[in-house]
Amino acid sequence: MLNLLKNNHLIGDTVEDIFKNQFDSSLPFALFKNEIANVNNASNHKLYSEEIREFCLTLHFYFPRAYEFIRQRSTLPDPFTIHRWLATKHCNPGILHEVIDYFKHKLKSETSKFLHVKDVALIYDAMSIREGFWPDKSGKVYGYCDLGGIAHTDNEELAKEALVFIISSLNIKFKCPVAYFFINKINATVQSQLVLAVISVLYEAGIRVRSLTSDGTTTNLKTYEILGCSLDHANIQSSFPHPDEPLINIYCIVDPCHLMKICRNCMAELSLSHSGNKISFDYVKKLYEIQQIENSKFANKLSSLHIFHKNKKISVPLAVQVLSISVADALQFLQSNNNDFKDATATIEFIRIFDRLFDIMNARNSFGKGFKSPIKLSNRFVLEEIFESAKSYILQLKCEEKDILQHRRKTFALGFLINILSYKNLALDLLTRENEPLLYFLPYKTSQDHAEITFSCIRSAGGWNNNPSALQFKWIIHKMLYRNSVLSSKNANCQDLEDKNESISIGIFSLSMKKVLMLIKNLLLKNLSMKSKDHNYSLMPVTDYVCFTHFKNRGKLKFVSMFIFDIILFTEKCYQAYSVDIKNNNFKKDIILKVQRQFLDQVKNVNPIHPIIDTCTLELHEMKIEILAMKYNKNVLQILFTRYFQY
């Protein structure tokens, strides 16, 4: 199937790799079972497993034309069906209240399973979108600046960016968008209002934000100051009290990957020095030239892209590979063997210190060794000593004969000082707290990589669109919040290095009808348990449809009871068990017998006030159960419930 799509130029190599890696060998078998299960089913009675639903949503997410091409050759749901699966959520600009309600419900009902979202890192970043305005089917126009009603904005100003807020769990692999806003050059005052609004809404849902991460732009640093941080070089304070729980501090973090890019750029473009010794990028260039002449490398990855990096300034791997311990080792080796490198001591020290800081602040593996190991109580003092040494080094760093913190290009130095304080204190809070302390802390959980990976997935929708429109952005976020297998591109700004079997998609909502039915059943149980009678129809949830039904009711309409609901669900299970051997002439009688055996004892135990017991004999009630089982089909369940509840 993938070869067929590729030969017809409907997908590219990247999408092919994603499907092969994500679904592996189980997909052909799942498609085969799907064909067998639906071979005799009518078009409106076809059943799809969760894996098939996930596959359909993923393929339709990447290339709708490819999905239509496959539908002509296999049994897959109509695109309208996929839209109907997604129609239960709206995901309008602003705070994603559907996501907040999901976490609120989960934390109340399944606290033990959702402890990983009790304490989270909040990460925000902006992504470019196509400028313009686009109406949707309802007539609403998207494309103007929209802050979700949290702050005032010019309704006639077209948006150029989407500001996205993502939460990342501090102890497992989990991330999820919680808000997005359409903006155009937002200022720090408005941005701080959005940050506080998101933090407060999360707190109401039972989620505490422990850290706040952004890149090192001037607006973001000013936002930190408005929130309560102090960025004065004489007295840096990297945290501010939680707006809803002042005893808890929220630690501000500047993304280490962005800091490494800025650090490399300053080293290559400006004159840096420490204690009077010059730090020069020329030594790195000379190392590259020697490797070219000798046609061999001193165990490093230097190439022409690392030296002539002006067209690749945003590439994090190039910056990190220049400021790496392998380059420092090569320079130190040449220092003792080549007179051209005899004054490279300051450059070697500069590279080693910032490489060490980046390794600590980017630790992502719980089994990491050395400086890439997680922060634990056992190694806390060693890392604090390294932090203090690096802090002292940065404070003595000079740029063009000026203290680095007083220079206009101070961002990388100030950012690393902020992170040194934040990571040290955040790790201490999480490792020594009284209730459920962490065994270790991985700084990568607070990285802005999670936002970049999400942006890569957004850009991949519909054939790799770098600048989706505002309306497209809304629907892409909408689709990604459902179970899917969408992955980031290998050519993205950063790569998802987590294992593919353990990496968690941002999709939290289920496409399965089974969970919707369970929600309906739980809602009915909650309402009907308020009275002793099983058939108290007046307690049905009051929705628009039910209000009209009550208005038209003249005493003869009855809503379905939980007893009938259980009969229908049990009959469905029996029917599915016989679906393979559908030609068996006795399968209907067998189903009826099973239903009678299952529910007759319950009928005998029903109180005399039960309407059916009041109005008919037990034998007649058995006949009614038999008729209900015989007339059962899939549409009965949908008609009885989806008309009365909006999900």
Torsion of CA 241, 244, 245, 248, to 10 degrees: -40
The three-point CA angle 325-327-332 to 5° equals 90
The per-residue pLDDT for 312 is: 84
- CA 192 – CA 226 distance, rounded (Å): 7
Per-residue pLDDT tens over the stretch 441-477: 999 999 999 999 888 888 888 777 778 999 989 988 8
Residue 33 has pLDDT above 70, yes or no: yes
Per-residue pLDDT tens over the stretch 515-573: 444 544 554 455 444 443 444 444 444 444 455 555 556 655 666 666 777 787 788 77
User: For residues 313 and 109, which has the higher predicted lDDT (pLDDT)?
Assistant: 313
Per-residue pLDDT tens over the stretch 403-439: 999 999 999 999 999 999 999 999 999 999 988 899 9
User: For residues 29 and 217, which has the higher predicted lDDT (pLDDT)?
Assistant: 217
Using 50, 70 and 90 to split pLDDT, how confident is the model at 54? confident
| Half-sphere CA count of 55, side-chain side, radius 13 A | 26
The per-residue pLDDT for 493 is: 58
Q: What is the mean pLDDT of residues 1-11?
A: 79
CA 416 to chain centre: 27
Share of the chain above pLDDT 70, in %: 76
Strand partners, 212: 122, 252
Residue whose pair of structure tokens reads 């496959």 in the numeric block = 70
The per-residue pLDDT for 269 is: 92
Burial of 165 (0-12, 13-18, 19+ CB in 10 A): buried
The per-residue pLDDT for 625 is: 53
Strand partners, 251: 211, 239
What single-letter DSSP state applies at residue 312?
Answer: G
- CA 208 – CA 200 distance, rounded (Å): 9
What's the one-letter identity of residue 601?
A: D
- CA 110 – CA 514 distance, rounded (Å): 18
Torsion of CA 436, 437, 442, 446, to 10 degrees: 70
User: In Å, what is the CA distance from 491 to each residue of 28, 163, 168?
Assistant: 28, 22, 23
What single-letter DSSP state applies at residue 146?
Answer: B
Per-residue pLDDT tens over the stretch 205-223: 999 999 999 998 999 999 9
Burial of 385 (0-12, 13-18, 19+ CB in 10 A): exposed
What single-letter DSSP state applies at residue 341?
Answer: G
Strand partners, 240: 250
Per-residue pLDDT tens over the stretch 395-412: 999 998 899 999 999 999
The full DSSP string for 96-135 is -HHHHHHHHHHHHH-GGGGGGGTEEEEEEEEEE---S-EE
Which of 86-90, 335-339, 390-394, 616-620 has maximum average pLDDT? 390-394
The per-residue pLDDT for 497 is: 53
Closest by CA position to 204, among listed 94, 89, 92, 95 = 95
pLDDT, mean over the chain = 80
Using 50, 70 and 90 to split pLDDT, how confident is the model at 38? confident
| Half-sphere CA count of 132, side-chain side, radius 13 A | 10
Per-residue pLDDT tens over the stretch 161-180: 999 999 999 988 888 999 99
